[in-house]
A and B are shown apart, each in its own frame.
Chain A
Amino acid sequence: MTAMQIVIVYLALLLLLSVISKKMFKGTIADYFTATHSIGPFMLLMSVFGTTMTAFALVGSTSEAYHNGTGVYGLLASLSGFVHAAVFYLIGIRVFKWGKKFGFTTQIDLFRARYDNNFIGYLLFPTLVCFIIPYLLIGLLASGTFFQQVSNKSISTELGSAIIAIVVLIYIFIGGVRGAAIANTFQTCVFMILGFVAFILISNKLGGVESAMKMVVASHPEKLVREGNQTHLIFLSYFFIPLSVAMFPHLFQHWLTAKSAKAFKLTVFAHPIFIMLVWIPCVLIGIWATSAMVGGELVVPKNSPPNTELAIMVKKLTSDSMSGLLMAGVLAAIMSSLDSQFFCLGTMFTNDILFKFIDKEKISDKAKIWYARGFIITIVVLTWLISLVVNKTRIFPLAVWSFSGFAGLSPLIFAAIYWKRSTGLGIILGVVGALFSWLYFFWDSGFGVATKYNVLGLMPVTFIVLSCVIGLVIGNIFGKRVSEEILNKFFKKEN
């Protein structure tokens, strides 16, 4: 079978899986959006991990290692393993508990109820959509690039990304969030196994890991150290980036699908190990790509388009059918994030905006689902159109911009859970601080074009988080306290 045929079979399998998951659908809006809290530990781990491992983790990390060396793993991956687990433990299980107790479907539900303030939702909704668009973009860009490579350039990047977007839309429309969780579990297994297989095959083709590394030592030893590739201040200020998971709306939705708080345990301790298993092969492939020679020629030519390093290494160093399987693995990683991101957009729109203007008792569950689908399609088309313009942008820096926005909002969820006396005005000013500082820095960087953009030598996320915290504190000084009745609802220990 050719690589393209294998990818088509894989996409068809996904659609079949969604039809099977539809049989488990209970027909209610609660089941469509939260799987009626029925997701157990293993599926929760796989769907949470699959959602967080995006094009960024495979395509982006390989490309970043190619350009800036092995330091990318220590910069972000190893820290993310620790911090993500901390967020799941400190935030995730508490969000799940409140979500189950009060019937929340989205973050905005939580913030509105916690602070008894509807306006928070109207401000947070466009902010979350704004930050999720770059995240959607990297998925579409990477999938388009891979489709182009696997089809030997007979399918353009634009058509490739459109095909992937349509496949994801179909399976989430059929299966709801349970369909997304089942697809994610399958796809996470696929990309982890096939990613490891890719690593073994590529290293064998290069004569083994020692031989592959010898080529790098001979041609590009500067890729093996952080000196010249990262500054200490940038390394330290990257600390804030993994906090973004505290405010990812798609992850929030997965937390709410959990069967019980115990279901989180596996996710908490397995996450750092799983990140390592996915990132290390990609980072090594990335630096090998700088120097790997076969037949006296560089495997990845110097003028290769951005984000193509992994695709080229896989294509040139493995057989056509294996290349197809590995491409399917990468697409699996991309789609396992796109599905959750698409889905959460629809949930947020219907739950947080539409139902504030239309009485939800007066419309059927079927109509509610169609409103959600309409909004998802609108955002996906808009993001696809943006991808036509930014198709030369590297994935890693674009993803970091998205993460910076969500990280900037992370003080809000910590305040909601741990700062009893925080106020609605503090949340509003925190959102304003994070949003406007992000917009300013993003514009100042040429909309992400300046890949080494920094503010006083630090990552801009430092100041986005700071702006949010300042807004929170000012809002707390001048804002009205939440009533004791509401505080008791959220914080009083049950007998």
Chain B
Amino acid sequence: MNRFNLPQKILIVIGFLLLILHYDFWNWSNGNLIFDFLPTGLAYHICYSVASGFYWLIVSFYFWPKEFDEEPS
């Protein structure tokens, strides 16, 4: 972990947290509807997908490995 700076370490921890949060055991038997049409478990995972997209947006633009920032061929 020593070759990563603090923001990178935070991002790695957030990545692992996101993986752990995928297991939403607390929604297992929850059949309630959100906005009268979205099952709670489904709504949670929609938010999870949005969070994933946002996470990888940050990674792509702020933590792209410098050695890959080459000019196009």
Q: Does B4 contact A (CB under 8 A)?
A: no
Q: Does A124 contact B (CB under 8 A)?
A: no
Whether A275 touches B49, Cβ cut-off 8 Å, given contacts A74-B42, A225-B41, A261-B69, is yes
Give the residues in chain B near A85, CB-CB below 8 Å: 52, 56
- The complex places the Cα of A168 from the Cα of B7 at a distance, in Å, of 47
Whether A74 touches B53, Cβ cut-off 8 Å, given contacts A224-B39, A225-B31, A262-B68, is no
- The complex places the Cα of A261 from the Cα of B68 at a distance, in Å, of 6
Chain A residue at smallest Cβ distance from B39: A224
Q: Would you give the shortest CB distance from B34 to chain A, in whole angstroms?
A: 11
Chain B residue at smallest Cβ distance from A283: B42
Q: Would you give the shortest CB distance from A321 to chain B, in whole angstroms?
A: 28
Q: Would you give the shortest CB distance from A457 to chain B, in whole angstroms?
A: 15
Q: Mark B27-48, 1 if CB is under 8 A from A, else 0.
A: 1111101001101011011101
Contact status A82-B52, CB under 8 Å = yes
Give the residues in chain A near B55, CB-CB below 8 Å: 82
Q: Does A67 contact B (CB under 8 A)?
A: no
Chain A residue at smallest Cβ distance from B61: A265
Q: Would you give the shortest CB distance from A192 to chain B, in whole angstroms?
A: 15
Q: Does A221 contact B (CB under 8 A)?
A: yes
Chain B residue at smallest Cβ distance from A221: B31
Contact status A273-B73, CB under 8 Å = no
Contact status A272-B52, CB under 8 Å = yes
Give the residues in chain B near A221, CB-CB below 8 Å: 31
Contact status B45-A73, CB under 8 Å = yes
Q: Would you give the shortest CB distance from B20 to chain A, in whole angstroms?
A: 11
Give the residues in chain A near B13, CB-CB below 8 Å: none
Give the residues in chain B near A81, CB-CB below 8 Å: 49, 52-53
> Which of A205-213, A359-367, A415-423 lies on the face that meets chain B?
A205-213
Contact status B41-A272, CB under 8 Å = no
Q: Identify A210's interface contact among B15, B37, B42, B57, CB under 8 A.
A: B37
Query: Can you report 17 A-B residue pairs in the complex whose CB atoms are below 8 A from each other?
Result: A71-B41, A74-B22, A74-B42, A78-B49, A81-B49, A81-B52, A86-B15, A213-B36, A217-B33, A259-B72, A260-B73, A263-B72, A265-B60, A265-B61, A269-B59, A271-B56, A283-B42
Question: What residues of chain A have their CB less than 8 Å away from a CB belonging to chain B?
Answer: 37, 70-71, 73-74, 77-79, 81-82, 85-86, 89, 93, 97, 100, 209-210, 212-213, 217, 221, 224-227, 232, 235-236, 239, 259-263, 265-266, 268-273, 275-276, 280, 283, 493
10 cross-chain pairs, A with B, having the tightest CB-CB distances, nearest first: A261-B68, A272-B52, A276-B49, A269-B56, A78-B45, A209-B37, A74-B45, A269-B57, A260-B72, A82-B52
Q: What 17 new A-B contacts, CB under 8 Å, besides A73-B46, A273-B50, A276-B50?
A: A74-B22, A74-B45, A78-B52, A82-B56, A85-B52, A100-B73, A213-B33, A217-B31, A221-B31, A225-B31, A260-B73, A262-B70, A263-B72, A268-B56, A268-B59, A272-B50, A283-B42
